[in-house]
Structure 1
């Protein structure tokens, strides 16, 4: 998720529809995964591919914890989160503040958000027969999180570091688990809690790294200075000196959640 940077007046407003003039203050791309290439590149960038995969991995982690895994329900859960987070949440985030500086119109962003969120809800309702009605309130919570976090509703109460970690860390684990309609017992519940805590901590770490990276890319005009070492040698201090370790860590960490989830799910597939 990206931080909104400016306010929009409505889906058809000048702020919502126009690409902000010029390059970011740093002259750098607004994200390490941002692409050029016109409309196609804009839509790929909008999906935040590394971060979307990161959070989809949590759905797989939750599903892998149940004794009997229904694969059709798992794929429906994964598709639902891909629509809700990968498309709807990111489209609203881009409309709200244009953090990625795409040229996608406000109407297109809202259309993508509404259709994707509706599709995610439909997928959730579609698996209720298997999952049971315990999933129903989670579908409603998901809608509130997508709208409340990305549009900064409720006075921005959800748009915090903790809100990010819980909404995009613990929540997908919980949904991936509950969608499977498990029989609730103490060991399974404890496993779910530990997995949710791990996802929350991991998402909080993502936030700790991505926030300063966003500031350097989108708000800082210049970084200039010098590093002096104990032996008297020096090295230039510039934007890349600060940004490269952050981006490098985020690139590597974005592969952890989906690959761990894939390993667990492949094991479950082989043991079925």
Structure 2
């Protein structure tokens, strides 16, 4: 499937390059992972600037850097042939911002962010560039990097610790991530093979429901905690 501009998360109007640019962010999935990081921050006593910081970190790391690298570094080219140097430059620039924010809080009082950041950095490159023969381009890597580590990072930036509440939240987020990626893979397979329209629409509705539910739960969680 070379042209993904017909995907439900891609704007239906605007110049093609704009639509591809927004589509590359995979905003529903990016928002879900960002929400998981916020869950980690909300799991205990939180400071707003740190909650915002971890949200920005994961939005840029996943939404921009990871998806840019995936667009030019993976075996498939879901958005067609893109200017590799430009896309990689955007990915690296975003990572510079990510690690600048992360190291600031890590050296301030949250050193637990360092091993989490190293692990996330490894998965970001190993998964999206399909390094090591693509051994880490699998569901388990996605569950760890999208579903578990973001929650840990959200907690670490607030308290430099991983609590029982954090672990419980990460189990929930990991389960949601598993449902998300398995549904997404089936959805992509159906679209690629020109499958039954009703089945495609059903998978699409599930993906939309997961996205909306996670966002609503996150907003509600935040309101309850303030």
Q: CA RMSD in A?
A: 2.0
CA distance in 1, matches of 2:116, 2:225: 25
CA distance in 2, matches of 1:118, 1:197: 30
TM-score with structure 2 length normalisation? Answer: 0.90
Relative distance call for 1:256 and 1:190 in structure 2 (3 A) is same
CA distance in 2, matches of 1:97, 1:139: 25
Task: Tell me what 1:72 maps to.
Answer: 49
Of 139, 164, 169, the residue aligned with 2:117 is 139
Q: Say which SS state the counterpart of residue 152 (structure 1) adopts.
A: coil
> Which deviations, in whole Å up to 9, do the C-alpha atoms of 1:69-92 show, x marking residues without a partner?
111111111111111100000001
CA distance in 1, matches of 2:50, 2:108: 8
Task: Tell me what 2:65 maps to.
Answer: 88
Which structure has the larger Rg? 1
Q: Identify, as 1 or 2, the structure richer in helix.
A: 2
CA distance in 2, matches of 1:47, 1:125: 24
Of 203, 206, 214, the residue aligned with 1:249 is 206
Task: Tell me what 2:35 maps to.
Answer: 57
CA distance in 1, matches of 2:78, 2:85: 17
1:136 shift after superposition? 1.2
> Which deviations, in whole Å up to 9, do the C-alpha atoms of 1:111-144 show, x marking residues without a partner?
1111111211111011124442121111211211
Which moved further from structure 2: 257-266 or 195-204?
257-266
CA distance in 2, matches of 1:212, 1:134: 36
In the alignment of these two chains, the number of paired residues is: 223
Of 188, 194, 207, the residue aligned with 1:214 is 188
Task: Tell me what 2:224 maps to.
Answer: 267
> Which deviations, in whole Å up to 9, do the C-alpha atoms of 1:47-72 show, x marking residues without a partner?
11111111111011100012x21111
CA distance in 1, matches of 2:80, 2:50: 34
1:153 shift after superposition? 1.4
Preserved contact between residue 58 and residue 173 of structure 1 (Cα < 8 Å): yes
> Which deviations, in whole Å up to 9, do the C-alpha atoms of 1:142-191 show, x marking residues without a partner?
21111011111123222111211111011111100111125x5xxx7221
Preserved contact between residue 42 and residue 103 of structure 1 (Cα < 8 Å): no
Task: Tell me what 1:232 maps to.
Answer: none
CA distance in 2, matches of 1:179, 1:151: 28
Relative distance call for 1:208 and 1:128 in structure 2 (3 A) is same
Task: Tell me what 1:125 maps to.
Answer: 103
